[in-house]
């Protein structure tokens, strides 16, 4: 099954809803970064939330999410856009804690609760919007829920989940975001609250084969939903050797000459996708000529 996202309206346009399957893209991140169980769950949840936030944007807006709760994982950084492309990494990928008190992955213990969730929207032309809230649970979903309410003044419910196999591979991942629009009445609020209390975890639904559409049907009722958009989502990094070459050229002749004399080559590493690019002495000398 491929990863994709759906956007919908419900209750006659009074609720905006998103749901996605992200098993493959979280698996790609797990393989690239060799994340262990706690890191896979935390990074996967953050990427899932971020890819849905990307779907809320128009044009070429880029979203950058930073989750920094002071826990052993260190900061989690994720980028996404409106095309369903997402990339991300966790500072310390090889963190493994015992299961929590209810026998589940201890995401809270790994992420920590002494820090912030920051969302930056790059609107282009050097125009940025940044919203920041304190981390309230460290479980990621609740933290994004709090972000939407406090920073964007949008009552929301965010559910994100990742199931990890004993060999650290990803079994299932996905999520949903439900947002109340200004004309939503108390009846709708009560219905959603009751459903959210009794529904299966979203990761369980994904594992059992629910499609994103079926997740929304489970949460909102089949007859209440109007699907308005559907598109694929994937792990995709924007790095390239050409981009790093331009960055090195931007260092200037003196610094490039120092690299040539001290190292004889340059090795550049991308944190987001874990790819490494090697620039030979000859390539550096050519960049030295091109630089100012």
Q: Are residues 118 and 168 in the same domain?
A: yes
What would the two tokens of residue 265 be? 């080559």
The Cα–Cα gap between 72 and 232 comes to: 33
The Cα–Cα gap between 24 and 251 comes to: 37
Q: Are residues 231 and 247 in the same domain?
A: no
The CATH number for 161's domain is: 3.55.30.10
Number of domains in the chain: 2
The CATH number for 269's domain is: 3.90.1280.10
CB-CB contact of 248 with 266 (8 Å): yes
Domain limit, last residue, from 235, 261, 281: 235
pLDDT at 23: 98
pLDDT at 165: 94
pTM above 0.85? yes
Computed over its alpha carbons, how large is the radius of gyration of the chain? 21
pLDDT at 292: 73
For residue 269, what are the β-bridge partners? 276
Give the DSSP H or E segment for 290: helix 281-290
The Cα–Cα gap between 191 and 13 comes to: 15
pLDDT at 288: 87
Identify the CA nearest to 267 among candidates 252, 253, 283: 283
For residue 80, what are the β-bridge partners? 63, 86
Report the DSSP pairing between strands 234-235 and 85-90: parallel
Q: Are residues 225 and 284 in the same domain?
A: no
Q: Are residues 220 and 254 in the same domain?
A: no
pLDDT at 123: 80
Give the DSSP H or E segment for 164: strand 156-164
The Cα–Cα gap between 97 and 151 comes to: 31
Q: Are residues 61 and 116 in the same domain?
A: yes
Q: Are residues 187 and 263 in the same domain?
A: no
Q: Are residues 50 and 190 in the same domain?
A: yes
Q: Are residues 107 and 252 in the same domain?
A: no
For residue 130, what are the β-bridge partners? 120
Q: Are residues 77 and 123 in the same domain?
A: yes
CB-CB contact of 276 with 267 (8 Å): yes
Q: Are residues 110 and 255 in the same domain?
A: no
Q: Are residues 129 and 74 in the same domain?
A: yes
Identify the CA nearest to 71 among candidates 109, 116, 118: 109
Give the DSSP H or E segment for 272: none
Q: What is the pLDDT along the chain (292 residues), one digit of tens a residue?
A: 899 999 999 999 999 999 999 999 999 999 999 999 999 999 999 999 999 999 999 888 899 999 999 999 999 999 999 999 999 999 999 998 998 888 899 999 999 999 999 999 988 767 788 999 999 999 999 999 999 999 999 999 999 999 999 999 999 999 999 999 988 888 898 989 999 999 999 999 999 999 999 999 999 998 889 999 999 999 999 999 999 999 999 888 999 999 999 888 999 999 999 999 999 999 998 988 888 7
Q: Are residues 203 and 248 in the same domain?
A: no
Domain boundaries, position 278: 241-290
pLDDT at 263: 87
pLDDT at 289: 87
């Amino acid at each position: 099954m491929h990863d994709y996202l759906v956007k919908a309206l419900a209750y006659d346009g009074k609720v905006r809803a998103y749901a996605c399957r992200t098993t493959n893209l979280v698996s790609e991140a797990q393989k690239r970064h060799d994340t262990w169980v706690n890191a896979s769950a935390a990074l996967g949840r953050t990427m899932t939330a971020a890819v849905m936030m990307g779907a809320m944007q128009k044009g070429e807006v880029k979203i950058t999410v930073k989750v920094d709760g002071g826990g052993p994982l260190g900061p989690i950084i994720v980028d996404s856009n409106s095309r369903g492309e997402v990339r991300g990494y966790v500072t310390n990928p090889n963190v493994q804690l015992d299961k929590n008190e209810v026998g589940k992955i201890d995401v809270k213990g790994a992420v920590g609760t002494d820090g912030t969730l920051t969302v930056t929207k790059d609107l282009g032309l050097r125009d940025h919007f940044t919203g920041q809230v304190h981390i309230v649970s460290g479980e990621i979903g609740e933290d994004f829920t709090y972000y939407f309410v406090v920073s964007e003044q949008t009552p929301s419910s965010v559910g994100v989940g990742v199931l990890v196999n004993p060999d650290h591979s990803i079994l299932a991942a996905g999520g949903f975001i439900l947002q109340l629009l200004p004309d939503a009445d108390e009846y709708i609020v009560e219905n959603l609250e009751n459903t959210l209390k009794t529904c299966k975890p979203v990761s369980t639904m994904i594992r059992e084969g629910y499609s994103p559409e079926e997740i929304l049907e489970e949460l909102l009722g089949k007859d209440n939903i109007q699907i308005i958009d559907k598109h694929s989502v994937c792990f995709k990094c924007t790095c390239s050797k050409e981009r790093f070459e331009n960055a090195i050229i931007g260092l200037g002749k003196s610094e490039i000459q120092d690299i040539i004399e001290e190292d004889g080559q340059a090795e550049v590493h991308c944190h987001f996708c874990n790819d490494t690019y090697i620039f030979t002495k000859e390539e550096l000398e050519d960049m030295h000529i091109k630089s100012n």
